[in-house]
Structure 1
Amino acid sequence: MTQHADVVVIGGGQSGLAAGYYLRRLGLDFVILDAGSEPGGAWQHAWDSLHLFSPAAFSSLPGRPMPVQSGEMYPDAGHVVHYLADYEQRYGLPVVRPVSVRGVHRDGAFLRVEGDTGTWLARAVISATGTWWRPFLPAVPGRDVFGGRQLHTVEYRTPRDFAGQRVVVVGGGNSGAQIAADLAYDTELTWVTQRPPRFLADNIDGRALFDAATARRRALEEGRSDTGGVASLGDIVAVPPVREARDAGLLKASPMFTRLTPHGVQWADGTLAEAEAVIWCTGFRPALSHLAPLQLRGSRGHIPTTGTRAIDEPRLHLLGYGDWTGPASATLIGVGRPARDATREIAELLTP
């Protein structure tokens, strides 16, 4: 069965919901296709101790402030899931789930969105699938010979799973620091980073990061010098658990090893560390395989865009994949502006 809509939004997480909010305000006919069986996007799959970088007041989608979580300055992932589910219901957003989109194709005046439960013909498409579903693992020698357990950030849940074990955590970003802090008390931890960890000042949270990203965008738009944005401040937000483990001397990073061995890891000078598990906190890539039929990929797997609009397919917008689709657009507070701009462009495109 083929259905029609002015706009099909692919992805029902925070970015897709922000787009839906503005599409509803503009009076467009739209549908949101979500691969998940429940509301909450990637947040429902996060590790148990994950908290936001910002207080609730600075972690909201457009139109609906996030309620404060009792007893928590920085809301946990479960609170975010409840917030997104409430947001979806409050604005009556037309989310269809579970639908796995297999491909987006050009079909004359339409874009044809093929899912595992049906087909939609749309005059415009917003891709908001994020990155969680495409974890990145670096090609480190010996990965295939290591006899212990290897997992990525997406598979980590709780330190109880590793109690008493020797664990190597790889990654100097927020995920690496938070998971290392999580494991620092009940495991024999080795934290490995490509460069010495750069902790942001203790008083900096997600709001300051959003402001830094916005200031960089404005500087570049106005032809001024690049401020460096978030990267100029550091790599790791010192949320309370990270700060506590760091100040207790439990977060001491080692340089990146050169290879895995059957029983652990080895550095260039021959130093060895045995391990039962290696956790790769090595980031993600954009989940864009559904757009492959459009043949739009550029360098680094990105689709060239102007703002959120694909340069070579003006009926397609990409939302929430990182700074290349809007400053801080992969965050709750940051996705609002690019969602608004994308939907306005779509409304202009569809206006006779």
Structure 2
Amino acid sequence: MTPSTDVVVIGGGQSGLAAGYHLRRLGIEHVILDAKAAPGGAWQHTWESLHLFSPAQYSSLPGRLMPAQPGQVYPDAGHVVAYLADYEKRYSLPMQHGVWVESVHRDGAYLRVETDGGNWRARAVVSATGTWTRPFIPAVAGRHEFTGRQLHTVQYREPTEFAGQRVIVVGGGNSGAQIAADLAPTADLTWVTPRPPRYLADDIDGRALFDAATARRRALDAGRADTGGVASLGDIVTVPPVRAARDAGLLAAKPMFSRLTTTGVQWVDGARAEADAIIWCTGFRPALAPFAGLRLRGARGHIATDGTRAVDEPRLHLLGYGDWTGPASATLIGVGRPARDAARQITELLH
């Protein structure tokens, strides 16, 4: 017999936990299906030196402040994993780990959620799978000719693996800057960015970014001029390791190359750089494969939404994918508000 519930939440990382918290407060029966075997979401798989952009108290999910990490202003990824595991346990969220959701289909008054461990029937579904499982690498000429190692942000762990090697880091965002700073002292580093690096002012951290994203969304919703949001401030938060590497002159960026060769990269003017490894810090795409059968995806691979609710399937909510599903919704502090709104709209749908 196929089990039924009011809501299936797909994904047990920060967005799934925030959804579970608000559904639980509203008394909505739900289950959270998470592909990971242990709590912590994608934070379990980041590079070792990664730190948050904000102090702990400004990096919290609804209802539970993140405790400070001793000796750290900006907590590291391990501290975040411990916080998320505690959060799941503290609120007794109905989590099922190690369950991979394969597809979602319409089934009369229900949505049928098919997994590798059986099916569920739900009156509503919250997709909180984020983007980490869909790394993006641009289609650069010669990418398959390069005989060295290529990896994406998701595969990078720590700099000793590349000690003494010629490494090209591609990407002008936070991941590119942080990984370049991580490698600069021990590797022969070439940092490549599509445009000159745009550092935010040294005193700006995640608190200001959340405020900027929220102000932009409010302006757009009110029909006012676009404030530019976070993009108007810059691309790179100057967390201490990035600031130190920049000030030491270790982060001199080169413009984007035109192609890869068998042994490295080449620019339009014919200049070349040899490489043992290329690390692509080039972002992600939303993980939406289970919803292919619903035929909801439009331009840029997105599902059209009104807030978090899918326009063409109001029983589906998307949470934590970025500004298109709520201001700063892909951040710890930013996901709480859209999760609350989604839970309230689901309550209205069910009643």
TM-score under structure 1 length normalisation: 0.99
1:28 aligns to what? 28
Per-residue Cα deviation, 1:260-303 (whole angstroms, up to 9, x for no partner): 11111000000010000000000000000011111000100000
Which residue identity lines up with residue 175 of structure 2 in the other structure? S
Cα offset for 1:97? 1.3
Cα offset for 1:222? 1.3
Kindly report which structure 2 residues correspond to 1:232-243, keeping only aligned pairs within 5 A, or say none.
Answer: 232-243=232-243
The 3-state SS of whatever aligns with 2:3 is: strand
Greater alpha carbon shift after TM alignment, 84-93 vs 222-231: 222-231
Kindly report which structure 2 residues correspond to 1:13-92, keeping only aligned pairs within 5 A, or say none.
Answer: 13-92=13-92
Kindly report which structure 2 residues correspond to 1:294-305, keeping only aligned pairs within 5 A, or say none.
Answer: 294-305=294-305
Q: Distance in 2 between matches of 1:116 and 1:163?
A: 41
Per-residue Cα deviation, 1:125-148 (whole angstroms, up to 9, x for no partner): 000000000000100011111010
- Listed as ranges, the gaps of 5+ residues in structure 1 are none
The 3-state SS of whatever aligns with 2:246 is: helix
1:160 aligns to what? 160
1:188 aligns to what? 188
Which residue identity lines up with residue 228 of structure 2 in the other structure? G
Cα offset for 1:259? 0.6
Cα offset for 1:229? 0.3
Q: Distance in 2 between matches of 1:273 and 1:222?
A: 49
Cα offset for 1:245? 0.1
Q: Distance in 2 between matches of 1:186 and 1:97?
A: 38
Q: Distance in 2 between matches of 1:151 and 1:219?
A: 39
Which residue identity lines up with residue 105 of structure 2 in the other structure? H
1:257 aligns to what? 257
Q: Distance in 2 between matches of 1:22 and 1:74?
A: 27
Which residue identity lines up with residue 29 of structure 1 in the other structure? E
Which residue identity lines up with residue 171 of structure 1 in the other structure? G
Cα offset for 1:221? 1.3
2:114 aligns to what? 114
Aligned length: 351
TM-score under structure 2 length normalisation: 1.00
Q: Distance in 1 between matches of 2:253 and 2:102?
A: 41
The 3-state SS of whatever aligns with 1:347 is: helix
Q: Distance in 2 between matches of 1:221 and 1:16?
A: 25
Cα offset for 1:223? 1.4
The 3-state SS of whatever aligns with 1:15 is: helix
Which residue identity lines up with residue 121 of structure 2 in the other structure? L
Q: Distance in 2 between matches of 1:115 and 1:3?
A: 12
Which residue identity lines up with residue 16 of structure 1 in the other structure? G
2:141 aligns to what? 141
Per-residue Cα deviation, 1:175-212 (whole angstroms, up to 9, x for no partner): 00000000000011000000000000000000100000
Q: Distance in 2 between matches of 1:320 and 1:142?
A: 34
The 3-state SS of whatever aligns with 1:8 is: strand
Is the aligned partner of 1:125 residue 2:119? no
Cα offset for 1:2? 1.3
Alignment RMSD (CA, Å): 0.4
Q: Distance in 2 between matches of 1:333 and 1:196?
A: 29
Cα offset for 1:39? 0.2
Which residue identity lines up with residue 345 of structure 2 in the other structure? E
1:174 aligns to what? 174
Q: Distance in 2 between matches of 1:223 and 1:147?
A: 51
Per-residue Cα deviation, 1:17-46 (whole angstroms, up to 9, x for no partner): 000000000001000000000000000000
Is the aligned partner of 1:293 residue 2:293? yes
- Listed as ranges, the gaps of 5+ residues in structure 2 are none
Q: Distance in 2 between matches of 1:221 and 1:300?
A: 22
Per-residue Cα deviation, 1:236-270 (whole angstroms, up to 9, x for no partner): 00000000000000000000000111111000000
Q: Distance in 2 between matches of 1:262 and 1:124?
A: 50
Which residue identity lines up with residue 152 of structure 1 in the other structure? H
2:343 aligns to what? 343
Per-residue Cα deviation, 1:35-77 (whole angstroms, up to 9, x for no partner): 0000000000000000000000100000000000000000000
Q: Distance in 1 between matches of 2:70 and 2:105?
A: 46
Q: Distance in 2 between matches of 1:300 and 1:28?
A: 33
Q: Distance in 2 between matches of 1:314 and 1:214?
A: 24
Cα offset for 1:348? 0.4
Query: Runs ≥4 in structure 1, deviation > 2 angstroms?
Result: none
Q: Distance in 1 between matches of 2:29 and 2:57?
A: 31
Q: Distance in 2 between matches of 1:64 and 1:30?
A: 20
Q: Percent identity between the aligned chains?
A: 77
The 3-state SS of whatever aligns with 1:2 is: coil
Per-residue Cα deviation, 1:201-236 (whole angstroms, up to 9, x for no partner): 000000100000000011111111110000000000
2:219 aligns to what? 219
The 3-state SS of whatever aligns with 1:126 is: strand
